[in-house]
Structure 1
Amino acid sequence: MSVITRNVFVSHHHKDDASVDGLKSILAGRNYNIRNSSIRAKPENQKRLDNKQVSDNTIRRLLRMKMRWASQMIVVIGKETHSRPWVNWEIKAASELGIPIIGVYENGLKDQVEVPENFKKYAASRVGWRAEAIIDAMEGKSQFENPDGSQAPKESGRNIQC
């Protein structure tokens, strides 16, 4: 079986970096490779960001460049994702670029968690942490699930074919 490769931008709260690695891993087990263009700051760069040595305009420009390379956005939805202003901004920017937005609940979430406001507006799919569901969403099958994988009502977002 050949490997399918997709260029994606993974939007996430930086505390959830391990989930980005886990996402790549579970998909790789199904011969589905994702090349992630999102920013994962090295410690020395994180220090510059924390000290506000990089302007927000510079960050927005860099993020847009990285998003343009991607054919899809995956938002890793964790307990605190809804409160992250950059995640919310990235979702809106991806929508403006016409990039389909897929939400994936973090592995192990059992209870419903809040999603970012812009995700509610622009999501194409929202699925649980299951390789099959994630791949289906990436292949354009719009679906909305709860963290446990059970069906959820469709959000008011957009259904964009990937």
Structure 2
Amino acid sequence: MARNVFYSFHYAPDSWRASQVRNMGVITGNAPCRDHDWEEVTKGGDAAIKRWIASQMSGRTCAVVLVGTNTARRKWINYEIEQAWGSGKGVVAVRIHGLKNSAGLQSAKGGDPYQDFNINGTPLGSIAKTYDPPYASSTYVYDYIQANIADWVEEAIKIRNRY
């Protein structure tokens, strides 16, 4: 059975990379937000964005943080991690900088998306996992994520259930 997950990522630079992961067909996730729809949500301010995130997370078992160059420490990425963990969902980070974007370019490795979080004094990064595909070729990075992401999600859910 495919898990239903919430994808968290920095939209502008990583939407193409994120769509590659979404379209692998290994796990299902929240529907991508079209630019126009996102503009409508953001017009409502922070409260509207929080409601949208809550509605997208509803019924999900895990948050998959797709980590690009500038994902770490972004306001809404941090909020999504906090909300996922706080509501008992698994949290797993997958580095996607090795996937090519629409221009055929890879990007630089980004920071730790968990760096601002502690769980009872323990850094979240020592609890929740971050996976970094060990390849330079975008094709191999894709294949590695596709072959492993379902297991990473299952492991994240098990980890969360222990805390």
Q: Normalization by structure 2: what TM-score?
A: 0.69
Give the Cα–Cα distance (whole angstroms) in 1 for the partners of residues 92 and 153 of structure 2: 7
| Cα drift, residue 93 of structure 1 | 0.6
| Cα drift, residue 107 of structure 1 | 4.7
Give the Cα–Cα distance (whole angstroms) in 2 for the partners of residues 84 and 56 of structure 1: 14
CA-to-aligned-CA distance 1:17-70 (integer Å, 9 cap, x gap): 1122211334x3xxx2x22126x4323234345xx5212112212211221211
In the alignment, does 2:134 pair up with 1:132? no
1:43 maps to 35
In the alignment, does 2:87 pair up with 1:97? yes
Give the Cα–Cα distance (whole angstroms) in 2 for the partners of residues 47 and 74 of structure 1: 23
| Aligned residue pairs, count | 136
Alpha-carbon contact 1:77-1:106 (below 8 Å) kept: yes
Note closer, same or farther for the CA distance 1:64–1:118 as it changes in structure 2 (3 Å cut): farther
Q: Which runs of 5+ in 2 are unaligned?
A: 99-105, 118-122, 134-143
Runs of 4+ residues deviating >6 angstroms: none
SS in 2 for 1:69: coil
In the alignment, does 2:60 pair up with 1:70? yes
SS in 1 for 2:55: helix
Give the helix-richer structure, 1 or 2: 2
Give the Cα–Cα distance (whole angstroms) in 1 for the partners of residues 20 and 111 of structure 2: 21
Give the Cα–Cα distance (whole angstroms) in 1 for the partners of residues 28 and 156 of structure 2: 20
Alpha-carbon contact 2:68-2:109 (below 8 Å) kept: no
SS in 2 for 1:79: coil
Alpha-carbon contact 1:68-1:97 (below 8 Å) kept: no
Give the Cα–Cα distance (whole angstroms) in 2 for the partners of residues 43 and 113 of structure 1: 24
2:139 maps to none
**Correspondence 1:9-158 to 2 at 5 A:** 9-15=6-12, 16-26=14-24, 28=25, 32=26, 34-37=27-30, 40-49=32-41, 53-108=43-98, 112-116=109-113, 117-118=115-116, 121=124, 124-129=128-133, 130=144, 131-140=146-155
Give the Cα–Cα distance (whole angstroms) in 2 for the partners of residues 68 and 62 of structure 1: 10
Alpha-carbon contact 2:8-2:63 (below 8 Å) kept: yes
Identity over the aligned pairs, expressed in percent?
22
Alpha-carbon contact 1:125-1:159 (below 8 Å) kept: no
SS in 1 for 2:56: helix
**Root mean square deviation, CA, Å:** 2.9
